[in-house]
């Protein structure tokens, strides 16, 4: 009979791995600041790109617009970001980190990098290359459709 081996099935392996890594990483921003993943991504997207719109943020961090909307609302409530209206298009708002938001970002970046470094340190150089190349290839394949 034709059987599917789940543990070798690419979608399953990817999901399982992403879930494990993401869950582990989430303890960092959760413990430190009580952030959810969408909030962390928003913070991190804004820190990386400076002032951007909610739509751009959604694209850059691969989040559904409702997630962005809610994360932005929460960070605004914390006074970690401010919205400023666009001059030309009144539907658009530009998001910018406040001093407090920037401080949180600056504090998080080294922790995030350390997490990644420690994870990759468990691999050999060729394994690191393999993951890097493999993910890039898949990203490319999905991009095309």
Partner DNA sequence: CCAAACTGGTTTCATTTGTAACCATTGAAA
Partner DNA sequence: TTTCAATGGTTACAAATGAAACCAGTTTGG
Q: Does 103 bind a second copy (CB under 8 A)?
A: no
Alpha helix segments (H runs only) across the chain: 10-33, 37-49, 54-61, 65-77, 99-121, 125-144
Nearest to a second copy of 90, 121 (CB atom): 121
Residues 6 or more apart in contact with residue 53 via CB below 8 angstroms: 86, 92, 93, 94, 95
Q: State the minimum distance, in angstroms, from the CB of residue 18 to DNA.
A: 12
Using CB under 7 A, list all residues that contact DNA. 36-38, 53-56, 64-70, 72-73, 88-93
Q: Quick one: what does residue 127 bind among a second copy, DNA, none, with the CB cut-off 5 to 8 Å set by partner type?
A: a second copy
Nearest to 85 by CA among 75, 93, 74: 93
Q: Quick one: what does residue 133 bind among DNA, a second copy, none, with the CB cut-off 5 to 8 Å set by partner type?
A: a second copy
């Amino acid at each position: 009979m034709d059987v599917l081996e789940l543990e070798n099935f690419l979608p399953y392996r990817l999901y399982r791995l992403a879930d494990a890594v993401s869950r582990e990483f989430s303890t960092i921003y959760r413990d430190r600041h009580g952030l959810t993943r969408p909030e962390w991504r928003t913070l991190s997207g804004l820190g990386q790109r400076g002032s951007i719109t909610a739509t751009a943020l959604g694209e850059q961090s691969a989040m559904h617009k409702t997630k962005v909307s809610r994360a932005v609302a929460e960070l605004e409530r914390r006074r970690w970001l401010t919205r400023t209206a666009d001059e030309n298009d009144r539907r658009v708002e530009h998001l910018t980190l406040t001093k407090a938001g920037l401080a949180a970002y600056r504090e998080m970046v080294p922790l995030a990098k350390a997490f990644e470094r420690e994870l990759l340190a468990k691999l050999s150089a060729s394994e690191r290359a393999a993951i890097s190349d493999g993910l890039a290839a898949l990203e490319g394949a999905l991009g095309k459709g």
